[in-house]
Structure 1
Amino acid sequence: MTPKQILQNWVEAFNEGDADQIANFYHQDALNHQVANEPVKGKEAIRNMFAEEFAAADMTCIVENIFEDGDWAILEWKDPLGLRGCGFFQFSGDKIILQRGYWDKLSFLRMQGLPIPKE
């Protein structure tokens, strides 16, 4: 499978909200860095991150574009509430080894009715 095809399957798993299923897309030593948050390292930690996020918010990924370049796939997305973002996924074989996501955390928290951290 190509990175683009794997990412299309990742989106389907994400939209099902199943942390175990989505964790299977990641390499054991993967790094997921949503730049609004601290980086998360390792497949199990990434699974836990998704489990917490799926429990806290109703998230749906609507694909606007998926681009592929070598072992990278780039996802441009929106959600039903109007939030937009993009993610960069680097693959090692058929597993995600690195993911970086860019989105507006403050808008996300407000749209989901979640608490805004005080700094």
Structure 2
Amino acid sequence: MTAETSSENTRWVRVCAVGDLGDDDAVRLDSSPPVSVFKSNGEYFGVDDTCTHETYSLADGWIEDCVVECPLHMAKFCLRTGRPLSPPATTAVRTHPVRTESGDIHVGLPDSYELKEGARCGTA
């Protein structure tokens, strides 16, 4: 399910400055559940950070051509749709809208997602 089709309210959270995120890089938010913002091919993507095959951070994976590969078992996910592109993953990761505003990157999180107290975002 993507954030766009969800019935939950969305709140926008600042992730980092545009210049802080290089191409084929990721920034992980200190949230529950974890969310990461990726930049690939000059575009920004927000997805739940945990691989759906086994609990592992996707932000630590290989990023190329709008695809992230989980470093644990090499499952690949489309950053645009969250759809799994290779086994062993068979379930999509949830996607979230991303926008840039005044030189900063923001991700839209459902109200049910919690930012940890004093959360700071950091490069994965």
TM range (shorter): under 0.3
The structure with the greater share of residues assigned to helix is: 1
What's the TM-score, normalizing by structure 1? 0.25
The structure with the greater share of residues assigned to strand is: 2
What's the TM-score, normalizing by structure 2? 0.25
Higher relative contact order (CA 8 A, sep 6+): 2
